[in-house]
Amino acid sequence: MALKTGSEYIESLRKLNMTVYMFGEKVAVPVEHPIIRPSMNAVALTYDLALDPLTEDLMTATSHLTGKKINRFNHIFQSTNDLVKKVKRQRMLGQKSACCFQRCVGQDAFNAVYSTAFEIDEKYGTDYFERFKSYLLYVQEEDLVVDGAMTDVKGNRSLSPSQQVDPDMYLRVVERRPDGIVVRGCKAHQTGIVNSHEVLVMPTISMDAADKDYAVSFSVATDTPGVIMIYGRQSCDTRKMEGSQIDVGNSEYGGHEALVIFDDVFVPNDRVFLDGETEFVGMLVERFAGHHRPSYACKVGVGDVLIGAAALAADYNGVPKASHIKDKLIEMTHLNETIYSSALACSYEGSPTASGAYLIEMLLANVCKHNVTRFPYEICRLAEDIAGGLMVTLPSEKDYRSPELNGYIDKYLRGVDSVPTEHRMRILRLIENLTLGTGAVGYRTESMHGAGSPQAQRIMIARLSNMEHKKSLAKHIAKIPE
């Protein structure tokens, strides 16, 4: 099959019979729901840009399995150039959508499972790698969106999976049959799951022998019986149902998260890529996290939009030449580019795994994500500072359009006389969207916990810091014998 267009992608979702709940009710037609639709548009953009001559270099790749052109989101990294193009793609898509475009977790899951399955087979003689290659070929040929599902709800976090009072706090195998397995559990924070054709499940933490039933990786279609999605709330989400283009800030695009229940879901053997090999769970988790942490170069693209919006707010407020405004915009740019530089660095320093697939440099990848847990918060703070208090006290678009009120609002909320009041309202709503509203899920809040909380990165940075080598360097310079 050729690469799909965005509209063909949306129509392919329409054919799925997914079980989606929102506000306590089942969503009859998810593709038509006004809260879901903007997030679907963001995914559709990744299809259309793959067909655009101006962006196809970043959006497509040559499959190492077939030699055909595929969407780069379904590609296994074959070189450091692939890793670098991923980072540049992330920034570009962030600039064009100003939101989470939801496909990064799937690609990072592909690459983690691919290389780990190869090494499991090398040790145990299993056939996980061939199963996964067949699955990947299907995804590439059908040009599908795959959700990567790692985060378990965890229950009592001081206890391992097998020690939980409720054994379903981590997703697990509850039955093994000759033709497959049955799984039960829940995955949280599932970015883009309602806009995906498939879900690729992985364990969430390292495990020991007692946790064998929890050491499982597999994939199923998102409309498989027993897969239940509960749509997550976002700040200002119901504004999308009001029909106001101004009030939502970003009227075209958005992201979403969901809680995904696996209620005794059957998985056929050819879709199982890990089952009980607990000693490889740590490898899988670390490789996924390693790949996913520089994926947050998307925040740099969204940051570009937010910095531009803050600069426009300053223009519209009449203070673009104020020294403190210039300094704040410089600081925002410095922080944004620092994230980008570490994402590029870990990609340029990548190296091949035993499978041939390339892996980023782990220490720099964790440094990148640790920067992301801090810098977007400061960028948001500075943007809010520049925008002013009107950003959160602005009247609605209905008030602005009201014949009785328009004259007052247009008169009293104008900044620079040459700039229409409506333009000022639009840019303030965009800043609100990115820092406090639905866009904040894909920028501010996700920057903290997506791909692991700050402590997860600090643990990896400590593990990879090679402190003894640094000590030996100091001893050598100071002429201290070993």
- Among all residues, which ones are annotated catalytic? 100, 104, 191, 257, 292, 296, 298, 446
Beta bridge partners of 221: 198
Residue by residue, DSSP assigns 347-385 as HHT-EE-TTS-EE--HHHHHHHHHHHTTHHHHHHHHHHH
Task: Please tell me the distance from the alpha carbon of residue 277 to that of residue 208, in angstroms, as a whole number.
Answer: 9
Q: Which residue has the tokens 């059908």?
A: 142
What's phi and psi for 22, nearest 5 deg?
-145, 130
Quick check: 442 and 99 in contact, CB under 8 A?
yes
**Using the 8-state DSSP alphabet, how is residue 28 labeled?**
S
Closest by Cα among 116, 163, 131, 459 to 281: 116
Q: How far is CA 87 from CA 71, 84, 261, in A?
A: 15, 5, 31
Closest by Cα among 104, 86, 117 to 292: 104
Quick check: 275 and 202 in contact, CB under 8 A?
no
Q: Which residue has the tokens 């959508």?
A: 97
Helices 454-464, 281-292: crossing angle, 10 deg rounding:
110
Token code pair at residue 179: 């033709």
Beta bridge partners of 268: 180
Token code pair at residue 97: 């959508």
What's phi and psi for 408, nearest 5 deg?
-65, -50
For β-strands 198-201 and 146-149, DSSP reports them as parallel
Q: How far apart are the first and last CA of the chain?
A: 62
Helix (H, G, I), strand (E, B) or coil at 20: strand
Helix (H, G, I), strand (E, B) or coil at 156: coil
Give residues with Cβ within 8 angstroms of 301, minimum separation 6. Answer: 90, 91, 92, 93, 94, 95, 96, 98
Task: Please tell me the distance from the alpha carbon of residue 107 to that of residue 196, in angstroms, as a whole number.
Answer: 12
Task: Please tell me the distance from the alpha carbon of residue 389 to that of residue 25, in angstroms, as a whole number.
Answer: 36
Torsion of CA 289, 290, 291, 293, to 10 degrees: 70
φ/ψ bin of 383: left (φ > 0), alpha (ψ from -120 to 50), beta (otherwise): alpha
